[in-house]
C-alpha cells in the first residue's frame, strides 16, 4: 500500500527526479550521495519495482511515475497544511510546477501569474512544451498543471476550457511577392517556411488546406523560440503561422501581410490540473482562466 512507503524515501526519490542526478539530490537534501542511493534502493525493494533508470539525468519508469506523483502531491499538501496552521518558520514558499506552450508563455500566460495573491507565497516552475505534449508531463507527475490542447482529462486531473489561440499565416510583403505571388496551392509547397521545431505542424496544416496532395516544403527554418520565430518571419526568412496577438501590430504597420485572411488556424487550449484541495493551485487556476477569457477567442 502507498501508505506503507517511508516518506523520507519518497521525498528522496522526488529530489532525485527534480535535480536530475543522485549527487545533485544529495546536495539539495544535505546528505551523502550514498544515503540517497540507499534510500532509493530501499524504496525499490519495498515496492518490488524498479523506479528509475540510472542515466544522467535519471529517467522514471512507469512505476516510478506513480510514486513521484504521490510524492509531489504529498509535498504540496504538506506545505499548504503548514501554511494554514501558521507553521511557516522555514519561510519556504509553495512551489507549483506548470507546463505551458511557448506561444502562450510569450503572449498571455505570464500576467496570470501576477494575479495569484502574494499572501499565498507561491513560486512557479514553468516547463515549456508544445501544447499537444504538455499533458504527458502531467501523466508523468512532473508538473501539477498544464496548458494543453487535450480536452480529455488526464487521470486524476480536472479540466477547464480556456479558449482558442488564433494563428495567422503571414509573411513580409517582399517575401510574399517573391515566393507566393501565384496561387497558394502551387507556391506554398516550395516556399521557405519557418517552423518552431519538428513537432510544429501548423504550417503543414495550412499548406494541406490549400494543397492536400503536395508534400510540405523542404526549405524549413527551425526557430525554437516564440519571439525568435516572429523575428525570423518579420526578417523575411520565410512565412509562418504567427499568433494573432503577436502578428496584429506588424499587420497594421504593413511589415507583414496575411496570406489568407479567411483561413486562420484556431488551436483550442485547456487548463488541466491535479485534483488537489490547494489554495495556491486553485488561485492559479482562477487567474489563468480569467486572463485567458480576455486574451483568447
For 5-47, write each residue's pLDDT tens digit: 888 898 899 899 888 899 999 998 989 999 999 999 999 888 8
Domain with residue 35: its CATH number is 1.10.10.10
Residue 22: which domain range?
1-68
Return the closest-CA partner of residue 39 out of 22, 53, 27: 22
The cell numbers describing 163, all together, are 479558449
CA angle 247, 251, 257 (to 5 degrees): 105
Distance in Å from the first CA to the final CA of the chain: 46
Domain with residue 248: its CATH number is 3.40.190.10
- Assess if residue 12 is contained within a domain: yes
Expressed in percent and rounded to 5, the helix, strand and coil fractions of the chain are: 45, 20, 30
φ, ψ for residue 263, nearest 5 deg: -130, 60
- Assess if residue 131 is contained within a domain: no
* Residue 199 to residue 181: CA distance in whole angstroms: 28
The cell numbers describing 164, all together, are 482558442
* Residue 114 to residue 122: CA distance in whole angstroms: 10
Going through 109-256 in order, the beta strands assigned E by DSSP cover 122-128, 145-148, 157-171, 193-195, 220-222, 240-243
- Assess if residue 177 is contained within a domain: yes
Model confidence at 246, pLDDT cuts 50, 70, 90, reads very high
Say if residue 153's pLDDT is above 50: yes
Per-residue pLDDT tens over the stretch 107-119? 999 999 999 999 8
Say if residue 120's pLDDT is above 90: no
Range in 1-10, 60-69, 230-239 with the lowest mean pLDDT: 1-10
Looking only at the bridges linking them, the beta strands covering 157-171 and 240-243 are antiparallel
φ, ψ for residue 140, nearest 5 deg: -80, 0
Model confidence at 55, pLDDT cuts 50, 70, 90, reads confident
Q: Is the pTM of this model over 0.95?
A: no
- Assess if residue 1 is contained within a domain: yes
In the prediction, which pLDDT does 56 show?
A: 86
The SS3 assignment for 120 reads: helix
- Assess if residue 132 is contained within a domain: no
Mean pLDDT of the chain: 90
Number of Cβ within 10 Å of residue 260's Cβ equals: 14
Residue ending a domain, among 51, 68, 85, is 68
- Assess if residue 279 is contained within a domain: no
**DSSP symbol at 239:** B
Residue ending a domain, among 68, 98, 117, is 68
- Assess if residue 77 is contained within a domain: no
Range in 81-90, 126-135, 176-185, 282-291 with the lowest mean pLDDT: 81-90
* Residue 197 to residue 103: CA distance in whole angstroms: 13
Residue ending a domain, among 45, 68, 91, is 68
* Number of structural domains the chain divides into: 2
* CA distances in angstroms from 31 to 12, 23, 37, listed in the order given: 10, 9, 11
- Assess if residue 144 is contained within a domain: no
Angle between helices 7-19 and 22-29 (to 10 degrees): 120
Amino acid at each position: 500500500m502507498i501508505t506503507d512507503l517511508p516518506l523520507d524515501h519518497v521525498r528522496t526519490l522526488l529530489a532525485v527526479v527534480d535535480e536530475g542526478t543522485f549527487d545533485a539530490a544529495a546536495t539539495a537534501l544535505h546528505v551523502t550521495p550514498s544515503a540517497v542511493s540507499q534510500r532509493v534502493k530501499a524504496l525499490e525493494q519495498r515496492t518490488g519495482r524498479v523506479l528509475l533508470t540510472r542515466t544522467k539525468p535519471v529517467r522514471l519508469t512507469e512505476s516510478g511515475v506513480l510514486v513521484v506523483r504521490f510524492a509531489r502531491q504529498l509535498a504540496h499538501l504538506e506545505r499548504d497544511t503548514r501554511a494554514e496552521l501558521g507553521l511557516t518558520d522555514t519561510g519556504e514558499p509553495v512551489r507549483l510546477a506548470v507546463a505551458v506552450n511557448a506561444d502562450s508563455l510569450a503572449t498571455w500566460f505570464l500576467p496570470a501569474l501576477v494575479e495569484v495573491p502574494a499572501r499565498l507565497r507561491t513560486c512557479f516552475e514553468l516547463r515549456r512544451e508544445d501544447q499537444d505534449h504538455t499533458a504527458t508531463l502531467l501523466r508523468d507527475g512532473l508538473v501539477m498543471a498544464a496548458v494543453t490542447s487535450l480536452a480529455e482529462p488526464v487521470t486524476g486531473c480536472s479540466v477547464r476550457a480556456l479558449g482558442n489561440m488564433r494563428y495567422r499565416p503571414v509573411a513580409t510583403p517582399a517575401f510574399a511577392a517573391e515566393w507566393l505571388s501565384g496561387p497558394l496551392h502551387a507556391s506554398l509547397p516550395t516556399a521557405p517556411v519557418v517552423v518552431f521545431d519538428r513537432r510544429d505542424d501548423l504550417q503543414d496544416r495550412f499548406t494541406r488546406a490549400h494543397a492536400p496532395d503536395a508534400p510540405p516544403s523542404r526549405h524549413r527554418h527551425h526557430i525554437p523560440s516564440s519571439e525568435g520565430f516572429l523575428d525570423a518571419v518579420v526578417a523575411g526568412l520565410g512565412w509562418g503561422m504567427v499568433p494573432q496577438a503577436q502578428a496584429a501590430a506588424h499587420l497594421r504597420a504593413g511589415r507583414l501581410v496575411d496570406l489568407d485572411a479567411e483561413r486562420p488556424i484556431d488551436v483550442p487550449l485547456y487548463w488541466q490540473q491535479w485534483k488537489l484541495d490547494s489554495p495556491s493551485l486553485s488561485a492559479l487556476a482562477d487567474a489563468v482562466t480569467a486572463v485567458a477569457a480576455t486574451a483568447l477567442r
